[in-house]
C-alpha cells in the first residue's frame, strides 16, 4: 500500500471563469499540503502562472508533459493544452467549457490508467461544458460511464454522510424513477462504500421518505407505502440495518441523523439542503460505487465572486484530505479481504 506522501492526486481545473483555479492554487500555496500527496493539476502552466499572480500567491508550479514525470514535493501541472486562453471571470463561455472538459478528460484517462491514484474535480459550469463528448448532467454521470462500477452521489463530512436515490432528476419525474430495483442498488452501494471506504463494519442506514410525512399512510402519495416500505423491509429481512422511511422535514432538526452511519435521501434537494446547512462549507462530494476515488468540493463555480480573491478553500481542502483518506482505507480493505480469501482458500 502506498504511503500518504506518495499518493498521486490528480486535479481537473474546472471552469476557468469560476473560482476553481483560485481554490486549487490557494490550497497548494500552503506547502504543508505537499507532505500528504503529490498534486498533479491538469491544465496549462502558463495560464495557472498568470492566475497565481492574479491571486498574489507564491507557490511554484512544475510544468510536466505526463503524470509519470510528476515530482514529489512539487505542485505539478500537466500541460493539456498549449494555446492562450482568454479568461473573463464570472461569464458563461462555451470555449472555456471546452477547456474544462479537456482537463477532466485527461485527468479521468490518467485515473483509469493508474497514473494518478485519486481525482479531485474543481467545479464545472454544467451548461457550457456540454458537447458531443460530454452530454451529462454533471461529473457523476460522466465518471460512471468512464470508470467501472455504479455511481452514487455521496455527500460526506466526518459526522454526516448523505447519499441520494436520485440526483440530477427533475422533481416531476422522481416518483416514477424510484423503483425497488433502484432502491436496492443504491443502498447496496452505500453499504459497500461504508465498509470499504469508511471502515464501518456493520453499516446502519436511514432512508428518507419520498412524500411529505412519508406519505402519511398513503394520504399524501402512495409511493412510500407501496415502494419504499416493502423494499426496505425486504433488505432488512436479509440482515441489513436499514430503517425508514423517515419524514424528511423533522429528521435533521431532531438530530436523528446522528443515530446512523449514513442517510439516503430520495432526491437532490431533500438531501443536499440539510447537508450543506449542517456542514458549514466543509462538505465533500464523493462519488461512491466506482472502482476509483473521486471527490470534489460541495459548491459550484461561484461566478459572482470569481476573480475577486474571495473564495473559501475549506471544502476543496477537505476534498483533498477525504480523497486521500478514502484511498488509504480502500487499499487497507482490499488487503484485508484478499488475505481473508487466501486463508479460506487454504482451508479448502
- At 54-74, the pLDDT tens digits run 999 999 999 999 999 999 999
d(CA 308, CA 290): 36
Q: Could you tell me if 302 and 10 are in contact, meaning their C-beta atoms sit under 8 angstroms apart?
A: no
Strands 75-79 and 38-43: parallel
Neighbours of 129 (CB within 10 A): 24
pLDDT score of 156 more than 60 = yes
The reported pLDDT for the residue numbered 343 is 59
Which residues lie below 8 Å from residue 203, measured CB to CB, with a gap of 6+?
190, 191, 194, 195, 240, 241, 261, 262
End-to-end CA distance of the chain: 28
Closest-CA residue to 139 (of 297, 5, 317): 297
Torsion angles phi and psi, residue 5, rounded to 5: -70, -15
pLDDT score of 42 more than 90 = yes
For 76-122, write each residue's pLDDT tens digit. 999 999 999 999 999 999 999 999 999 999 999 999 999 999 999 99
The reported pLDDT for the residue numbered 163 is 97
Cα 15 from chain centroid (whole Å): 17
Q: For residue 303, what are the CA distances in angstroms to 18, 152, 271, 338?
A: 5, 27, 24, 47
**pTM for the predicted model, two decimal places:** 0.92
Torsion angle defined by CA atoms of residues 297, 303, 309 and 311, in that order, rounded to the nearest 10 degrees? -30
239 by DSSP, 3-state: which? coil
The reported pLDDT for the residue numbered 340 is 62
Which residues lie below 8 Å from residue 347, measured CB to CB, with a gap of 6+?
none
Closest-CA residue to 324 (of 82, 2, 7, 1): 7
| Mean pLDDT value of segment 237-260 | 96
pLDDT score of 4 more than 60 = no
Q: Rg (Cα) of the chain, in Å, rounded?
A: 21
The reported pLDDT for the residue numbered 43 is 98
d(CA 153, CA 141): 9
Amino acid at each position: 500500500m502506498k504511503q500518504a506522501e506518495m499518493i498521486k492526486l490528480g486535479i481537473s481545473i474546472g471552469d476557468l471563469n469560476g473560482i476553481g483555479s483560485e481554490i486549487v492554487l490557494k490550497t497548494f500555496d500552503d506547502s504543508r499540503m505537499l507532505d500528504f500527496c503529490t498534486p498533479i493539476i491538469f491544465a496549462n502552466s502558463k495560464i495557472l502562472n498568470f492566475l497565481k499572480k492574479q491571486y498574489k500567491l507564491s507557490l511554484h508550479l512544475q510544468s510536466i508533459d505526463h503524470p509519470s514525470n510528476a515530482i514529489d514535493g512539487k505542485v505539478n501541472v500537466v500541460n493539456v493544452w498549449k494555446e492562450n486562453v482568454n479568461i473573463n471571470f464570472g461569464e458563461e463561455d462555451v470555449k472555456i467549457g471546452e477547456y474544462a472538459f479537456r482537463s477532466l478528460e485527461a485527468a479521468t484517462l490518467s485515473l483509469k490508467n493508474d497514473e494518478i491514484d485519486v481525482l479531485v474535480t474543481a467545479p464545472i459550469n454544467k451548461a457550457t461544458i456540454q458537447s458531443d463528448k460530454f452530454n451529462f448532467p454533471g461529473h457523476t454521470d460522466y465518471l460512471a460511464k468512464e470508470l467501472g462500477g455504479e455511481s452514487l452521489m455521496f455527500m460526506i463530512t466526518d459526522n454526516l454522510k448523505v447519499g441520494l436515490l436520485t440526483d440530477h432528476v427533475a422533481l416531476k419525474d422522481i416518483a416514477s424513477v424510484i423503483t425497488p430495483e433502484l432502491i436496492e442498488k443504491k443502498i447496496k452501494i452505500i453499504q459497500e462504500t461504508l465498509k470499504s471506504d469508511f471502515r464501518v463494519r456493520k453499516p446502519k442506514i436511514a432512508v428518507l421518505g419520498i412524500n411529505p410525512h412519508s406519505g402519511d399512510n398513503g394520504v399524501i402519495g402512495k409511493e412510500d407505502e407501496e415502494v419504499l416500505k416493502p423494499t426496505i423491509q425486504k433488505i432488512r429481512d436479509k440482515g441489513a440495518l436499514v430503517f425508514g422511511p423517515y419524514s424528511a422535514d423533522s429528521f435533521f432538526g431532531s438530530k436523528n441523523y446522528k443515530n446512523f452511519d449514513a442517510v439516503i435521501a430520495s432526491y437532490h434537494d431533500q438531501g443536499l439542503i440539510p447537508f450543506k446547512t449542517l456542514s458549514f462549507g466543509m462538505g465533500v462530494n464523493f462519488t461512491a460505487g466506482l472502482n476509483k476515488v473521486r471527490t470534489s468540493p460541495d459548491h459550484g463555480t461561484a461566478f459572482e465572486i470569481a476573480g475577486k480573491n474571495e473564495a473559501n478553500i475549506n471544502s476543496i481542502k477537505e476534498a483533498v484530505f477525504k480523497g486521500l483518506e478514502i484511498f488509504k482505507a480502500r487499499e487497507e480493505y482490499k488487503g484485508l479481504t484478499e488475505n481473508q480469501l487466501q486463508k479460506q482458500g487454504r482451508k479448502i
